[in-house]
Amino acid sequence: MDRCLRSSIWSRPRLTSGWNGTSAATTVESAERLAKACAASGATLVAVEPDLFDAIWPDRPAPPLGAIRLHDVAFAGEEAITKLARIRPEIGKLKADALVISDPHCVAWAFNIRGSDVAHTPLPLAFAIIPREGRPALYVDGRKLANDVRHSLEALADVREPSDFARDLAALGAAKKTVRIDQATASDALARLVTGPGGKLSRGPDPIVLMKAVKNSVEIAGAGAAHRRDGAAIVRFLAWFERAAAGGTLSEIEAVEALESFRRDTGRLKDVSFPTIAGAGPNGAIVHYRVTRKTNRVISPGNLFLIDSGAQYEDGTTDITRTLAVGAPTEETRERFTRVLKGHIAIARAVFPDGTTGAQLDSFARQFRRRQLSLGA
């Protein structure tokens, strides 16, 4: 007899904040991998109800309620109603009756909205269903919507509460509809809500992903303006840093605060695009290092200082990394920096077939490491 592995595969549509703003649930794709692994071991994966996490996490934080704002066409370059009209033919090409949008990035793009539910990323946590024919439905907590925002969105779609989402998916299944679901971002529970009553799934990438990847002229101009603006702030920071670090008392935290102040001086800064990585000396070698009061290090002469940061502006997002020598670099510093530079150049010049992984390319960068020869080591 097969063993039965019961798993709490998110059984209700909850809007929780994962690292990228998507639901922190078991996706269709990951559930299928788990099921195959279980089958290979003679077990069966079974979803359970109710969600076991609710039993062990009674004080689970409520979903965030960041206010939603409209993303002006002056920055989007295309009205939401036009985007929705372009999406419908793509649903038809997939031979589906409706598209479920489970990735907040795609929801934000399709409806020209922005939010603050995810740290440093202007995303509203929301779902949507776009039928091939008829009005779309946007599922968002009404407490996030000011009256003018709700009015604008209701001109485009039926604005419904997240609690209505499961009901509407089940209704599509009961009507024997074919529903497109992005198996990489949609939870397995959403798929079962459709297929349980007899609906059919069309599994694959959300067509909006490629649509939003092609930037229009307004978006391209906005990205350029954001980078020029941010570049000017960085130049001012670099000039300040050269003077401030010379005294040997400047700390990592002070450098982070100064850089953000130069960006804020533009009058256009909405937020940083991620927590600034500012590492002096050995801290600069820690991947994705984040300074704290405990680890805060003085940027001493002779050190290298890594500063990796970015900004969120209404017209674009930036991400820039610089490695700065504090005072005159030592010969060892020059040698190590040059080896890293050679690795970067080797990766940039590499020609490789489709499907090559980063791990396979890693050796191109590492070929310039110092060869250390020792007996018995």
pLDDT digits 0-9 by tens, 217-235 = 999 999 999 999 999 999 9
Architecture label for domain 69-213: 3-Layer(aba) Sandwich (3.40)
DSSP per-residue codes, 125-161: --EEEEESSS--EEE--GGG--HHHHHHHHTTSEEE-
| Residue 93 amino acid letter | K
pLDDT score, position 4: 45
Residue 51's pLDDT is: 77
Q: How many CB atoms lie within 10 A of CB 337?
A: 14
Is pLDDT of 10 > 80? no
Q: Give the separation between CA 152 and CA 221, rounded to whole angstroms.
A: 26
- Is the model's pLDDT at 2 over the cut of 80? no
pLDDT digits (tens, 9 = 90+) for 175-203: 999 999 998 999 999 999 999 999 999 99
Residues 6+ apart with CB under 8 A from 61: none
Give me the pLDDT at residue 22, please: 38
- CATH number of this structure's domain 217-328, picked from the four choices 3.90.230.10, 3.90.1300.10, 3.40.30.10, 1.20.1530.20: 3.90.230.10
| Nearby residues of 38 by Cβ (< 8 Å), 6 or more positions away | 5, 44, 45
DSSP output for 178-203? EEEE-TTTSBHHHHHHHHTTT-EEEE
pLDDT at 225: 98
Can you read off the two tokens belonging to residue 315?
């017209």
pLDDT at 18 over 80: no
**Could you report the per-residue pLDDT of 143-155, keeping only the tens digit for each?**
999 999 999 999 9
**DSSP-assigned beta bridge partners for residue 100:** 129
- Does pLDDT of 83 surpass 80? yes
Q: Is the pLDDT of residue 76 over 60?
A: yes
Instruction: Indicate if the pLDDT at residue 40 is higher than 50.
Output: yes
Rounded Cα–Cα distance for residues 306 and 321 (Å): 7
User: How high is the pLDDT of residue 276?
Assistant: 97
Lowest mean pLDDT among 32-36, 64-68, 342-346, 372-376: 372-376
Confidence band for 371, pLDDT divided at 50, 70 and 90: low
The predicted-structure confidence for 114-149, as pLDDT tens digits, reads as follows 999 999 999 999 999 999 999 999 999 999 999 999
| Predicted pLDDT at 19 | 27
Phi, psi of 280 (to 5 degrees): -100, 140
The answer, yes or no, to whether residue 11 has pLDDT greater than 60, is no
- Give the start-to-end residue ranges of the domains of the chain: 3-56, 69-213, 217-328, 330-377
Look-up: residue for tokens 């922005």? Answer: 114
By mean pLDDT, which of 168-182, 212-226, 320-334 is the weakest? 320-334
- Report in angstroms the alpha-carbon separations of 110 from 15, 95, 170, 180, 206: 18, 20, 23, 16, 12
Alpha helices in the chain (DSSP H): 28-40, 52-56, 73-76, 80-93, 104-111, 147-154, 165-174, 188-195, 207-213, 217-245, 252-264, 331-349, 358-366
Q: Percentage of the chain with pLDDT > 70? A: 92
